[in-house]
Chains A and B, each alone.
Chain A
């Protein structure tokens, strides 16, 4: 009975691991930062923080609101729903206080854009990076 219970618990855990994918935060190779705080990450992706600590401009890339990757990224790393993030962008865009992030259509495009745009930051599903970009960890 106890074994069955443990098997069920482990099964449940695997289920959750399966639905919530692991995400790598990725940056262009010219960004010198090694880590980024969760609060700075929120400022970056809500388009309020426009430059890296070394002064270089930040260029933000995102996937569409309805993609699983963007939804998981928003909820797991930023702690907000995609529609909340979009409203924050809209509040800035239509009041003249900020600009929108650049949208990409696929992970392949994300990888290429982050690789070739200085100051770029984006995200990929775990294991999808190559040698032209690197990951940055969240403190």
Chain B
């Protein structure tokens, strides 16, 4: 018997995995393909928004009414076998001064899942994949999956969207259904694409900050669902370090730790969602100049939706964000850092209406009353303009997906 004998006879599963790595197109792949022709699908979406604000700029020159808000995506997926799938999506996103509509590779991944038994599996993903954070991050740019025209900014900041959007690396995951309980755990590690939005949010734009990621972003999500999603609970995390150079102060690095706690209750036409985010930020070095900015950002939202008929839904949402979780009105942060208190928090009330006349088409209309400006982008509201404390936001959206 050769030295590989026992290994071969007892570990056919390990061999299968090895074959996948070493011999693509052979072995396992061929065996599974012989009884399966593969399924190829193409999907996409086209979204156009309109934003009007009484003060400040959000998604374009919104005081004059802005159409600088659109999203176009197209994806292809090929299921090679029940266990293997390759997929990729291209995305163009325009969001005022934050995103200019240039074409991005949103994800491009290969997914392999090993079935442990009828209802549980374990698998991995390699390539560029979306980070599972909270209930919505991995499809945050797709209107058909969002809970409103905009993502709740208290959790899913548009001004630093790229920081947690996706990673170039890999994920391992496992999921299983046990009686009425469903568990899913996804862990990811990889490089995060950092952009100007992130640079000019974590350091003052006048410092001309340039950032590079030190190491990789690591994180994951544990999701629990009861009774087919009647109750959904999740705990998510992503942590990363940004090495930063500026034109004025010595270089330093910023440690960011992003935690999200999510809960959702679905009952017939009702849906109640709550998510809470905490983000400790630690500025290191910078000659000590940035120590004063160390903080724990927090935010939460509560949303209640009601399905009126098959096509219509209405919702109400309240969200609140604070630059410092111990300083809800921003006064201490203002005294420390020097900007007006209302730039350190936001409170939003939103009422929204959704109409889905067909499976592909959706229309939304929303009105928000806002106090504070923490979620507004510095790129869209550059100094020396002062962001106004009290403002209203009206928005419309039409989206087609297939």
Q: A residues engaging B (CB < 8 A)?
A: 39-40, 42-43, 48-51, 53, 55-59, 64-66, 71, 78-84, 86-88, 90-91, 93-100
Contacts and interface: CB of A to CB of B under 8 A. Distances in A.
Contact of A84 (B36, B115, B266, B401): B266
Contacts of A91: 138-139, 145
Given A48-B175, A81-B268, A90-B401, A96 B111 contact: yes
10 A-B pairs closest in CB distance? A51-B82, A96-B87, A95-B138, A50-B82, A94-B142, A57-B82, A42-B228, A94-B139, A90-B145, A96-B107
Given A84-B229, A90-B401, A99-B77, A40 B36 contact: no
Contact of B359 (A51, A59, A65, A88): A65
Contacts of A88: 229
- Determine the main DSSP class of B at the interface with A: strand
B356 A94 contact: no
A12 B130 CA distance: 51
Contacts of B162: none
A39 B177 contact: yes
Interface string B170-196: 000001010110100000000000000
A96 B128 CA distance: 10
A49 B36 contact: no
A43 B119 contact: yes
Contacts of A90: 139, 142, 144-145, 401
Interface in B108-167: 109, 111, 113, 115, 117-119, 129-130, 138-139, 142, 144-145
Interface string B354-384: 0010010000000000000000000000000
A99 to B, nearest CB: 5
B89 A57 contact: no
Interface stretch (B37-45, B94-102, B199-207): B37-45
B27 interface: no
Contact of A97 (B111, B229, B310, B401): B111
Contacts of A78: 228
* Chain B CB within 10 A, most for which of A39, A40, A86, A97: A97
* Chain B CB within 10 A, most for which of A50, A55, A57, A96: A96
